[in-house]
């Protein structure tokens, strides 16, 4: 699959300085319908007004937990070496509770608050209260951030199961596009498992839900909600040639978010596995045919780094990873996400394609954080 090549908003869909900032790089409805009309999907008798009532119910249920987030950051001043300037960035967020942890948190995107200290972050609630977080956790690689609030009587949205989200299901998006707080839009899940999307260079873990619900600058960090009133994603980016909504938006699945949040709260950081390879950014039909494969599926290795689990296992440049522990690898992003989610020290079995035949190798998963620290030390020498 070809990587999306479009203009993607940075803030990815946040507002920078109260204006639009662009970066060049990107590139349960079935039960709800049964309750509303009792007719099968697509039936002409489906009552549109009843669907509208369901939208209204979900918006009323979740909106109190949706917040606006503003952050003041210091950035290098253009044309003035050594000097900085203040930049205001705004986005959205949703109030959540985490099982096993006390308090209420704001769930948002890292790019909304990145490089802003807690005292420079402002959270505006639906009831017009203005709060500042007492602590901030962030994971730049997935673009997830969590802010702890110290206040009473805070609402919280329910977190759903994004694995159950299906293409074609209705969803709502709530946020603060262009600074217009509590804006509600609707659409459907357009696709799942979107990874071929080029975003901020720090964002490595990508497995988005795609939606046509209107997402605009300022919507970053706002919730994507199913018809049961549960958050199933965090709105993060839009693909657009103009910078405005074009019906192609991307949301981080909430199940991925929950795994990240649990590690941030328990350990203060996210532990990820790694092998030590660089995979090709895409694997096209022509590449597959040239290698003797009958389908363009898998992850093509471009580089194997020395003294890594991959080199120890015997992986080579131009190998294609077809399976990991018996699970078919769809593409390069699926492979990256799969390896990242494995436990450090875990032994895995890789089925690869090499010289027009399949073979199996075993590898032991390494520690991504430790490897990055080593690479940085080597770079600084």
Residue with tokens 């290098």: 76
With beta carbons less than 8 A apart as the criterion, state whether 109 and 249 touch: no
Helices (H), the chain: 29-36, 48-62, 110-113, 254-267, 285-290, 309-313, 332-340, 368-380
List, in sequence order, every residue forming a beta bridge with 257; answer none if it has no partner. Answer: none
3-state secondary structure at position 379: helix
Known active-site residue 111: yes
In Å, what is the CA distance from 222 to each residue of 89, 96, 264, 302? 15, 12, 20, 36
Q: How far apart are CA 69 and CA 65, in angstroms?
A: 13
Pairing of strands 249-253, 170-175: unpaired
Catalytic residue among 220, 240, 251, 340: 220
What are the E-state strand segments in 195-228? 208-211, 223-225
Structure tokens given for 86: 């203040």
Nearest-10 Cα torsion for 208, 213, 217, 220: -40
Closest CA to 114 of 28, 252, 10, 34: 10
**Per annotation, catalytic residue among 63, 90, 92, 111:** 111
DSSP code at position 77: P
Strand ranges, E, within 266-308 = 273-274, 277-279, 299-304
Q: Which of 90, 92, 139, 143 is catalytic?
A: 143
Measuring CA to CA, which residue among 5, 50, 59, 49 is closest to residue 32?
50
Burial of 156 (0-12, 13-18, 19+ CB in 10 A): middle
The answer to whether the CB of 217 falls within 8 A of the CB of 19 is no
CB-CB contact of 72 with 133 (8 Å): no
Structure tokens at 305: 């780094």
Residues with a known catalytic role: 111, 143, 220
């Amino acid at each position: 699959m070809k990587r999306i090549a479009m203009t993607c908003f940075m803030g990815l869909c946040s507002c920078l300085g109260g204006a639009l900032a662009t970066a060049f790089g990107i590139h349960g409805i079935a039960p709800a319908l049964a309750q509303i009309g009792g007719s099968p999907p697509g039936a002409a008798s489906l009552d549109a007004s009843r669907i509208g009532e369901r939208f209204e119910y979900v918006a009323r249920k979740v909106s109190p937990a949706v917040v606006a987030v503003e952050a003041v950051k210091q950035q290098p001043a253009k044309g003035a070496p050594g000097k900085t300037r203040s930049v205001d960035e705004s986005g959205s967020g949703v109030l959540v509770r985490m099982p096993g942890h006390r308090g209420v948190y704001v769930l948002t995107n890292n790019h909304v608050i990145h490089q802003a200290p807690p005292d420079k972050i402002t959270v505006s609630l639906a009831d017009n209260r203005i709060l500042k977080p007492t602590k901030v956790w962030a994971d730049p690689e997935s673009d997830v951030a969590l802010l702890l609030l110290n206040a009473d009587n805070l609402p919280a949205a329910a977190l759903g199961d994004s694995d159950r989200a299906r293409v074609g299901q209705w969803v709502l998006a709530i946020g603060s596009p262009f600074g217009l707080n509590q804006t509600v839009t609707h659409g459907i899940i357009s696709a799942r498992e979107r990874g071929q999307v080029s975003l901020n260079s720090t964002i490595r873990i990508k497995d988005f839900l795609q939606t046509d619900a209107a997402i605009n600058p300022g919507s970053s960090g706002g919730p994507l909600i199913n018809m049961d009133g549960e958050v199933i994603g965090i709105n993060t980016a839009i693909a657009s040639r103009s910078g405005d909504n074009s019906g192609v938006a991307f949301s981080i699945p909430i199940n991925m978010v929950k795994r990240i949040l649990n590690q941030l709260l328990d350990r203060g950081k996210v532990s990820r596995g790694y092998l030590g390879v660089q995979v090709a950014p895409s694997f096209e039909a022509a590449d597959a045919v040239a290698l003797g494969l009958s389908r363009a599926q898998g992850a093509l290795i471009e580089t194997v780094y020395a003294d890594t689990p991959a080199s120890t296992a015997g992986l080579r440049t131009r190998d294609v990873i077809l399976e990991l522990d018996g699970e078919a690898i769809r593409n390069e992003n699926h492979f990256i996400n799969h390896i990242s989610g494995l436990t450090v020290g875990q032994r895995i079995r890789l089925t690869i394609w090499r010289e027009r035949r399949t073979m199996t190798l075993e590898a032991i998963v390494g520690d991504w954080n430790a490897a990055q620290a080593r690479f940085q030390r080597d770079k600084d020498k």
